[in-house]
Every structure is written in structure tokens, then in C-alpha cells.
Amino acid sequence: MLTERFLCNRRRRELSKEELEVVEGAIAEVRTIPPRSQVVTAGKPIHASTLLVEGLMCRYMDDRAGNRQIVAIHIPGDFVDLHGFPLKHLDHDVATITSCKVACVPHENLETIIGTHPHLSRQLWFSTLMDAAMHREWTFRLGRLDANQRIAHLFCELYCRMNAVGLAKDGSFSLAITQQDVGETCGITSVHVNRALRNLRNDGLVTFRSKKVVIPDRAKLAKLADFEPNYLFFDPDFEALS
């Protein structure tokens, strides 16, 4: 089921099976998109939103010199550009990182849902607010943490989110991004990412090698990164999930 990960993504008890089927039914098309390809361009009108089923996507903005700042990383189960539905166009670009399987939900179908399923539409609103909460945390990350901490914080967040959709366990998950991507996310150069990763590795906090993140001691990493997962609004017992 395409929406399976969307279900367990957040606050799992909040969506009924029937509502999930409504979302599933709103999907018009399932596509596979090659890695590193732009999907949405800032400013251009959009008429469908993208539910990510498999792979990694990101949202980003470039400065005038062409340097990229990634403002969101999306994992399976995320509604990548749901906010484009009320906004009609986006203020940023969207691209795939890896090869991706996506489900396209036309805005006219969302329109119908809004009219007929008040609770579900509330959940869609909620979903966009979760993104905003992550944006805030990213602001905190960039404003207050040093390079080591930023990377640690990013890995902590991704671990929690991956874990919530069944893609991480025992302190380890697969993450097919480059050190350059990490740099563009954390506002540091790829050279310095490399050095920071070495620090973290030498301190036994986290390794990131061959597209795999391993966190031997999550509590220790979270402490270094000043990471408090409350902003992800998971179930209170999310900690219990390993």
C-alpha cells in the first residue's frame, strides 16, 4: 500500500483505516523519478502534490552565486509539497536525491477531500505544520550549533523519522546522500563535513560510511547535539521503538 508509511509516519493513531483509503484513492499516478532531478521549480504553478513512497528527496533554495541551501530532506511517507496545495506555487525548488518512487495526488482530489472529510483535512494541515516544526528546529541547528553538533543533530532527526516509518532500527539506517549534501543541509562546506565526521567517528558517536549511518549510543549523540525530539510530535512512547 502506497500510503502505508504516510500512516505510521506521525502520530499513528490519528488516521483511521478508512481515511487512509481515501488518501490512497486520491492518488492519480505512481512514478519513478531518476536521482538528482528537479521535480518542482519555485514560482511555477503546481497542480498536484507528491507523496514520497521510496527514496530521498529534498527542498532547497540557491543563492545568487548558485550555492545551494537544503531546507528540508524528505523520506518515505512524507508529503513533500502538500503545502503547495493551498499556496498554489512554491517558494523553493524540489528535487530527488536518490531514485524515487512517488505517488501524485492532484489538487482537485485534495479539494474533494477537504470538502468531504473534515478530520482528514485537519490531519493534512497537521502534516504541513510538522514540516514547519522541523524548519524551526533547522533554524535552531544552524543558528546555535557548531559543525559537529549540526551533523549529529541532523542524524538524530533522521534516525527518529526513519525509525517511525520502519526504516531505521538498532541505531542504524541507510542514508544515500553525499557529504556535499550534508554540507548543503548544515550550512558548512563539504571539506569541513568530512573533518567533522572524522571527529564524530573518533569520539565513537556516529559513523557515516558507504551510505549508512550507525549510531552506537543514541543518548550520547543526542546530548552532544542538544537534540530534543519533542518537535517531531511522535507518540509519547516513540522512545520505546528501537
Residue 160 has, within 13 A of its CA and on its CB side, a CA count of: 25
Q: By CB under 7 A, tell whether 196 contacts DNA.
A: yes
Instruction: Figure out which of the listed residues 99, 112, 128, 189 binds DNA, where binding follows CB under 7 A.
Output: 189
Q: Is 148 in the site for DNA (CB under 7 A)?
A: yes
CA–CA separation, 17 and 4 (whole Å): 10
Rank residues 231 and 238 by Cβ distance to its own copies and give the closer one.
Answer: 231
Minimum Å gap between C-beta 178 and DNA is: 3
CB crowding 129-156: b at 16 or more within 10 Å, else e:
ebbeebeebbeebeeebebbbbbbbbbb
With CB under 7 A as the contact rule, the residue among 146, 170, 228, 239 that binds DNA is 146
Q: Give the CA count within 13 Å in the CB-facing half-sphere of 121.
A: 13
Residues β-bridged to residue 105: 49
Stretch that binds DNA, among 20-28, 141-149, 154-162, 225-233 (CB under 7 A): 141-149
62 binds DNA (CB under 7 A): no
Q: Please list the residues that pair with 214 across neighbouring strands.
A: 172, 207
Tell me which H or E stretch contains 68: strand 68-74
Binding mask 205-234 for DNA (x = CB under 7 A): ----xx------------------------
Interface residues with its own copies (CB under 8 A) are: 42-43, 59, 61, 63-64, 67, 69, 71-72, 83, 86-87, 91-92, 114-115, 118, 122, 125-126, 128-129, 131-133, 135-140, 142-145, 184, 186-187, 226, 230-231, 233
- Cα distances from 135 to residues 15, 142, 163, 185, 223, in angstroms, run 24, 11, 20, 12, 20
Q: What are phi and psi of 225, to 5 degrees?
A: -85, 0
Minimum gap (Å) between residue 192 Cβ and its own copies:
13
For the chain, how many residues are written?
242
Tell me which stretch binds DNA (CB under 7 A): 15-23, 76-84, 109-117, 145-153: 145-153
Q: Which does 161 bind (CB under 5 to 8 A by kind): DNA, its own copies, none?
A: none
Q: Which residues bind DNA (CB under 7 A)?
A: 146-148, 178-180, 187-192, 194-198, 209-210
